[in-house]
Structure 1
Amino acid sequence: MAVTRPERLDFLALRFIARAERGFALANPYSDLHGGFGLMLHAHLRPIYEDLFGEQQGSSEVRGHVLRPADGMLQPVRAGERFAFELILVGPMVRHAAACAEALAMLGRNGVTPARHRYTLEQIDRIAPTGATTLWSPDTGWCIAALAPVAAEELLQVRTQKAEGALLDFVGPVRIKSGNDLLEHCPPPRVLIERLLARAQLLAKQQDGAPLIDGDSKRELLAQAETLSIPRNSLAWETIERVAARDRRRMDLGGLSGVVVLDGPLGELEGWLRLGEWLHIGNKTSFGLGQYRFSTLPQPPR
């Protein structure tokens, strides 16, 4: 039986609700938003920038933040229209929540991309598996009590009775490697779980100096993953090009999007898959890639 150590990994998820000053359509909402966020931190909050983007976190898989476009931002936004994006801070990065919120407010005043697409923040919510709570609004100010993070253990303990499968809806492109190769087809269940565990373990080490689970427990979870099958998936490659905010270099940021159906008893894997909704999976997660929505299935469709 794999046993996790309680409260070794925390996360805080914030939803920013904004209103566009004028209409815009971002060429790449993932990199445009993330790049602008980095520029604001670099220019005005350099110590926070170094903590989130610094050399000590040379791989995007171990960066303790995820900034992802949400409601309305993946499509063209009209003048005066509301849209949303979400910031997830993990482990020691949770302490930078207020500074990150200020950077994203500054980005709205400065404008996203060189075209200066400006917005005004109207509300910040704390989002969690149990629901959403207003954290800030112009009328109420800050609710500091709502800044409490979520412990990973809360999700890892979840078990749904008679869950004989799951549906993973990858709403954002996911980039998963097998060896050194970027997969352009649906990865097997073991690879999915292996990448999810690896990310959670690295993030836990950053927070507490130790992984969430030991080697034996990890092997048990991977063995359980091998009992699952994928009877159906609709993953297809989505091409996205990133233009670096600082030097305008172009690079590939594409990945697989679509639905994956897992068939078989989930057991303890359910909690890990629920945690993955918040941590994301694969490469370039700090840009918001690797996001999926999880739901259990009593009997997976064939």
Structure 2
Amino acid sequence: MSLFSPSSLPIARYRFTLLTETPFRLTGYPGAMLRGAWGHALRYLACSTGSPECAGCPVREHCRYTQLFEPLPDTAQGAARDIPPPYIVQAALAQPRALARGDTWSFEMVLFGKALAELPLIIWAWQLAARDGLGDQQSPMCLVSVEHETSSGEWQPVWKNSPGSALGKPPRAPRVQAHVPALAMEQQANHHAMPLGASMTLLTPMRLQHKGRICEPQHLTANILLNSLWRKLELYMEHYTGLPLPAMPPRDGILLQPLSLARQRWERHSRRQQKAMRLDGMLGTLSLHGPLAEWWPWLWLGQYTHLGKNSSFGLGQYRLAPLRE
């Protein structure tokens, strides 16, 4: 089956909207905070043994928490290969850092493959995480709605909270409205009127690895960026779409121009690992110029898979735009 057939890819993006029940102040990078809170709630709901640790659990391989949040390495080819989890949390850095009681704020989540069938469990875990409190202050919130991004870029409601559920009642397993959870790619296969170039705005720190180190802005080239994109696409396509990638398009003649790139210094504390983690990456804008016709659909798809390391909590997100002059 061709990637650009009328059959769409099993990838979908959802928007989650929260209502604050007390004043809330956001510190640090929101994607990491959201992912941690959701993972904790997901484990509470999905774990069938009550074991305090996943390591050594006899049902770990078949556990819904493991399959969703931290898939086991792939050993089919001999050496163990890490599998990216079938989700990415997308939380904009530009959102307000302080919210009053009664304010709403939204974030998005991209789901891949098997995670699409688990949307009710995923929403249920977000309900529980919001009720238990988010951020350093453990501020209680209420998940009020979930919307699905359609192939035309519009947002379609698929779940709304029932009246009175924000009054401290424990969340229940949600009933999700029927919709088509897929990403339409066929429009991106049209190479007519292709742009002369593309601009990429890095919305969250991008951690590209080159020669064993995180690439610095002054060393970034089109080859490094496109190679990293292809590796990321291979991982998601192989494990979550059932569609192999074709041969990598040629990169000859494609040039990268940094417009306003800078290294973002960032550190987060991992509660699970009980240690600080350095997660520096690049922010800013860049442009690509040259024969991009064959690369355009893959660059477009990369907006959903992100680029570089630590993408599950939203790092490496970018916005693509054509350059026609």
1:80 to 79, 98, 102: 102
Q: Residue 133 of structure 2 aligns with which residue?
A: 111
The Cα shift of 1:227 comes to 1.4
The Cα shift of 1:4 comes to 4.2
Aligned-partner Cα distance in 2 for 1:34–1:59:
22
CA contact (8 A) 2:120 2:175 kept: no
Aligned-partner Cα distance in 2 for 1:25–1:150:
31
Q: Residue 315 of structure 2 aligns with which residue?
A: 289
Per the normalisation by structure 2, the TM-score is 0.80
Aligned-partner Cα distance in 2 for 1:287–1:60:
16
The Cα shift of 1:125 comes to 0.7
Q: Residue 97 of structure 1 aligns with which residue?
A: 119
CA contact (8 A) 2:196 2:289 kept: yes
Per the normalisation by structure 1, the TM-score is 0.86
Q: Residue 280 of structure 1 aligns with which residue?
A: 306
The Cα shift of 1:115 comes to 2.5
Does structure 1 residue 55 correspond to structure 2 residue 81?
A: no
Query: Residues 87 and 133 of structure 1: is their aligned pair in 2 closer, same or farther, counting only changes over 3 Å?
Result: same
Q: Residue 278 of structure 2 aligns with which residue?
A: 252
Question: What percentage of aligned pairs have identical amino acids?
Answer: 23
Q: Residue 16 of structure 1 aligns with which residue?
A: 16
Cα offsets for 1:18-51 (capped at 9, x unmatched): 1222222233312111111111112222332200
CA contact (8 A) 2:270 2:276 kept: yes
Cα offsets for 1:73-108 (capped at 9, x unmatched): 463333322111111111222222221111111110
CA contact (8 A) 1:14 1:126 kept: yes
2:159 to 120, 133, 136: 136
Query: Residues 237 and 71 of structure 1: is their aligned pair in 2 closer, same or farther, counting only changes over 3 Å?
Result: closer
CA contact (8 A) 1:13 1:89 kept: yes
Q: Residue 198 of structure 1 aligns with which residue?
A: 231
Question: Which sections of structure 1, spanning at least 5 residues, go unmatched?
Answer: none
1:121 to 128, 131, 143: 143
Aligned-partner Cα distance in 1 for 2:192–2:105:
33
The Cα shift of 1:270 comes to 1.0
The Cα shift of 1:287 comes to 0.9
Q: Residue 53 of structure 2 aligns with which residue?
A: none
Query: Residues 71 and 44 of structure 1: is their aligned pair in 2 closer, same or farther, counting only changes over 3 Å?
Result: same
Cα offsets for 1:52-85 (capped at 9, x unmatched): 2132378777222101213864633333221111
Q: Which moved more, 1:108-117 or 1:284-293?
A: 108-117
Which one has more relative contact order, counting CA pairs under 8 Å at least 6 apart? 1
Aligned-partner Cα distance in 2 for 1:118–1:154:
42
Aligned-partner Cα distance in 1 for 2:91–2:81:
21
Aligned-partner Cα distance in 2 for 1:155–1:20:
39
Which structure: greater helix fraction? 1
Q: Secondary structure at the match of 1:283?
A: coil
Count how many residue pairs are aligned between Structure 1 and Structure 2. Answer: 289
Q: Residue 264 of structure 2 aligns with which residue?
A: 238
Q: Secondary structure at the match of 1:66?
A: strand
The Cα shift of 1:113 comes to 4.0
Query: Residues 194 and 8 of structure 1: is their aligned pair in 2 closer, same or farther, counting only changes over 3 Å?
Result: farther
Q: Which moved more, 1:86-95 or 1:162-171?
A: 86-95
Q: Secondary structure at the match of 1:199?
A: helix
CA contact (8 A) 2:16 2:147 kept: yes
Read off the aligned partner of 1:149 and give its amino acid letter.
Answer: A
CA contact (8 A) 2:29 2:93 kept: no
Does structure 1 residue 268 correspond to structure 2 residue 284?
A: no
Query: Residues 93 and 16 of structure 1: is their aligned pair in 2 closer, same or farther, counting only changes over 3 Å?
Result: same
